[in-house]
Amino acid sequence: MKKVVSVVGARPNFMKIAPIDRAFKAYSDEIEHIIVHTGQHYDYQMSEAFFQDLQMPSPNFFLGVGSGSHAEQTAKVMTAFEEVCQKVKPDLVIVPGDVNSTMAAAITTKKLSLPLAHIEAGLRSGDRTMPEEINRIVTDVIADLLFVTEKSGYENLIAEGIPSYKIHFVGNTMIDSLIFASEQLNKSKILQTLQLSECSYVLITLHRPTNVDSAEMLSMFFDIFNYISSRKKIVFPVHPRTRKNITDFGLDEIAGQNKNLILTEPLGYIDFLNLMKNSSLVITDSGGIQEETTFLGVPCITTRTTTERPITVEIGTNTLVHPEKEAILKTIYEKIDNSSNPHQIPKLWDGKASKRIAEIIYNYLR
C-alpha cells in the first residue's frame, strides 16, 4: 500500500484537496490518502466548516501551528510536518496553492528526499513583494510533479527551466469542488437569512495586507462602499485580519452607519458560493474567487495591481483594477448593472482535474 500525504493549511487548500481525496477512492486498494492540516487557518469558519461543506474527511493529523509571522509559521510547519513524515513514511507528498504551509511542507518533503507534487503550479503574478509569489516559486523549483490549471502556468514553468516531463496540464481542482458543491446549493438559506434577492447586492472580500493593513486604504474602501450602497446592498464576510483592522482603525462606527452594508463572519463554503452565484458583482483581492466567478459568469473586480490568474482576465469575467478610489468607482459604474458578461470557461475546467491528478500519481508511484 502506497501512502500519499496531502497538506492543507488555509481555506483555499481545502477546495483543492477535497476532490482529490474523492478521486483517490478509485485506487483505495493500492493508495492510502492521508490529510495533514497544519492549522495555519484555525478559525472554525475558516477551516472545519469547510471540511463539512466539502464532505472531506477529518484530517489524520492536525499540527495546530496557528498565527504568527511568515517565518514563525514556516518554521512551525516544517518542524511539525517533519515529525509526521518520519512517523507515516509517505511515498509522495501533495501540496496545494501558495500559502506558507505549502512552501514549508514542500521544503521539508524534499529535505527528506521524498517525491513532491504541487497542485496549481506555475501561477505567477510577477510581484515578488507578495509572500505567495515566493511560496509558489520555491515550491515549483523543487517539485517532481507540477499540476497546472491554465496555459500561463505551463508557459511560466517552461520559461523558468522546469523540464516539460514534470509538468501536467490537468485543469482546476477548485472548479471540481465548485461543480460538486453546486448540487448542494439548495440547502443554503443564506439569502433568506440576510434578506437578499438575486442580483440585489454586491459581494465583497478583502484580506490582503496592501488593502487592509493601513487606515488610509481601508477607509478608502468604506468610502467606495457608501457609493455602492446607494444602488445595491453590500455583503461583506469579514476576514479575521480585516475585522481586527476595522476596529483598530476606528471604522466600526462608520460601518455601523451604513444600513445597506451587511458585515458577517467568515462563511462556510456552500453559503459563500450561493452568495457569489447570486450576486450582481463581486469585488475581491482573492485569487480563487477570480476563478470561481469566471466559471459562474459573475462579473468580478479584483483590486490588485497584478494577478497570477491571467486567464480570468483574458477570457473570463474578471477585471483587474489598481486599488485607487477613482479607478475602482469607474469600473463599478461600468459593471454593476451590466447584465451581459460574455466569457468562456478555460480549457479543462470541467470538474475532472482531480481524476487526472489521481491517475498520474497512481502511475507515477507504480
Question: Read out DSSP for 194-223?
Answer: TT--TTSEEEEE---HHHHSSHHHHHHHHH
Question: What is the reported pLDDT for 36?
Answer: 96
The predicted-structure confidence for 185-229, as pLDDT tens digits, reads as follows: 888 999 999 999 999 999 999 999 999 999 999 999 999 999 999
Percent of the chain whose pLDDT exceeds 70? 98
- Of the CA atoms within 13 Å of residue 103, those in its CB half-sphere come to 18
Say if 271 falls within a structural domain.
yes
Say if 177 falls within a structural domain.
no
Same domain, 268 and 319: yes
| Gyration radius of the chain over CA positions | 20
Cβ 41 vs Cβ 47: under 8 Å: yes
Same domain, 44 and 136: yes
Say if 203 falls within a structural domain.
yes
Say if 180 falls within a structural domain.
no
pTM for the structure as a whole: 0.95
Same domain, 61 and 163: yes
Instruction: Give 45's pLDDT tier (boundaries 50, 70, 90).
Output: low
Give me the CATH number covering residue 65.
3.40.50.2000
Cβ 119 vs Cβ 21: under 8 Å: no
| DSSP code, position 77 | H
3-class secondary-structure state, position 33: strand
Mean of all residue pLDDT scores within the chain:
94
Cβ 280 vs Cβ 199: under 8 Å: yes
Alpha-carbon distance of 296 to 270, in angstroms, equals: 14
Same domain, 53 and 98: yes
Same domain, 161 and 190: no
Alpha-carbon distance of 46 to 258, in angstroms, equals: 26
Say if 218 falls within a structural domain.
yes
Percent of the chain whose pLDDT exceeds 90? 86
Inform me whether the pLDDT recorded for 313 exceeds 60: yes
Instruction: Give the range among 28-42, 43-57, 268-282 with minimum mean pLDDT.
Output: 43-57
Cβ 265 vs Cβ 238: under 8 Å: yes
Same domain, 138 and 232: no
Q: In degrees, to the nearest 5, what angle opens at C-alpha 251 toward C-alphas 262 and 219?
A: 95
Same domain, 322 and 223: yes
Same domain, 241 and 289: yes
Question: What is the reported pLDDT for 11?
Answer: 84
Number of domains in the chain: 2
Say if 316 falls within a structural domain.
yes
Instruction: Give 43's pLDDT tier (boundaries 50, 70, 90).
Output: low
Inform me whether the pLDDT recorded for 47 exceeds 80: no
Same domain, 29 and 69: yes
For residue 247, give the C-alpha cell. 476596529
Clarify whether 33 is annotated catalytic.
no
Question: What is the reported pLDDT for 293?
Answer: 97
What are the distances in angstroms from CA 340 to CA 100, 202, 281, 297?
38, 16, 12, 9
Same domain, 161 and 19: yes
Instruction: Give 342's pLDDT tier (boundaries 50, 70, 90).
Output: confident
Same domain, 90 and 213: no
Inform me whether the pLDDT recorded for 274 exceeds 80: yes
Inform me whether the pLDDT recorded for 46 exceeds 80: no
Say if 178 falls within a structural domain.
no
Could you list the residue range(s) of the whole structural domain that residue 70 is in? Answer: 2-172+349-365
Find the largest Cα–Cα distance for the chain. 62
- Helices and strands, counts by H and E, the chain: 17, 13
Say if 179 falls within a structural domain.
no
Catalytic residue of the set 41, 207, 239, 322: 207
Same domain, 207 and 310: yes
Q: What are phi and psi of 117, to 5 degrees?
A: -115, 135
Mean pLDDT of 117-122: 98
Mean pLDDT of 110-135: 97
